[in-house]
Structure 1
Amino acid sequence: MKHVLDRPIWSALATRHQAFAQGDNLARRYMPSIVPFSATAVDDKESVEALAKLIPPCESSFVVQADAIVLPAALCAISTASLVQMIAEQPVQAVSDERIQRLTQDDAAEMLALAALTRPGPFTLEALRLGAFWGVKIEGRLVAMAGERMKQPGYTEVSGVCSHPDFRGGGLGRLLSLFVANRIMTRGEIPYLHAYASNVAAIGLYESIGFRLRSMMNMAVLQHAE
């Protein structure tokens, strides 16, 4: 039996994030201004061809799923990677730090700049529409952040975890990951996240605060073939 997180993008767009979805029961994507993610429920010919029609020729889109990614003739993968999907099912350490503050749309440009510098994953100026983000500022400068992205029944993804290179090693990524995970758990949901399988340091951090491997995942960035 398939797990709801085996196709996290589809599961989110078909349920708690349906308001941000474009497409139909064959293929769906987030509004590209929010996050460039798309998915199908299954990999049959009709569905993957519907996915190709959903992605404009001038755009690219990320697909993440446990199954091998099947492409229609109209699309090609310009980038692929193996990810780990990790979940925290048991209570994690509660943290409190007066430096942690809720980020707002007024912080969006600085958040985007931090994400562009550290590359935690796709990030846009409208990322805050998907869930709350929290950060630490030092001398008025945003130096670390973490927040929520995809949401499925009973689950919320921890995302955008990053620290400015000048402040790495200070435990801010750990602090904010714990803070966001605890907030998700207080709502009765299970926090989960994705990391590149090659990012040993990040995986070790997440394991140290209570996350465990749930599944290996496949990721591809798709665009129309020439």
Structure 2
Amino acid sequence: MDRNRLALAAVAAVLALPLVTAAHHARPAPYGDRLTAAPAAPARSAVRVRGAAVEAYDPRSGARGWTYRREGRRPLAVRTAPGHAFALWSDGMVTDTARVLSVDAVRWHRAVPGLADWLEGRPGRASGVLQELGPAARAGAMLAVVTPERITAYRAADGDLRWTLPARRSCAFDPGRVARVDGVLLVAQPCRDRDVWSQELVAVDSLGRITPGRTPLGNDLPARVDAATRA
């Protein structure tokens, strides 16, 4: 009797396997992601927005490395750093396509509150929203997302939220008016009813707003995660 039951259970498991496999393949990709990679990656790679996709390509030959689309969304801007391709999408999502263990993959997604409404119908506003902070080669390198209401900084390696700087009352950050000086990002913060220019300019780096005597948190990856990333 026990042998018969075991045989029936084995047959049922075998018959169920194709159904499980089919269900796995039928699941939609998260966030509508569609990443298509070429069989051989180009030796040198640049990234651009092309139509409704973000595309990595060889700047010499034009050969494609990978193409990244999100169903029903459009990329508005890209910013690259060694090993990373950050993209800003029409729904206010920020993504990072990175190389992990010699394989190109969409590493993280971050939805930025209020960004989609501010960008709607004005794709030109996307210029300046994505800003790199800190040495890109370090694990503590950061990506800042500049919007009128706040500057939000994410760790490039894993998308971890590290700090947020809200705009002053009656003021708004202007992503289109930024400058860099010795690794410091200067962001315009125009204010209503104020004529003190120093209040309309904010300086930040990978550790947050630059102020006298600050004691910022470190942004490096935990040792265990950092070691896995380098592998």
TM range (shorter): under 0.3
Higher RCO by CA contacts (8 Å cutoff, separation 6 or greater):
1
Q: Which has the higher helix share?
A: 1
Q: Which has the higher strand share?
A: 2
TM-score computed with the length of structure 1 as normaliser: 0.26
TM-score computed with the length of structure 2 as normaliser: 0.26
Flag the structure with larger Rg: 2
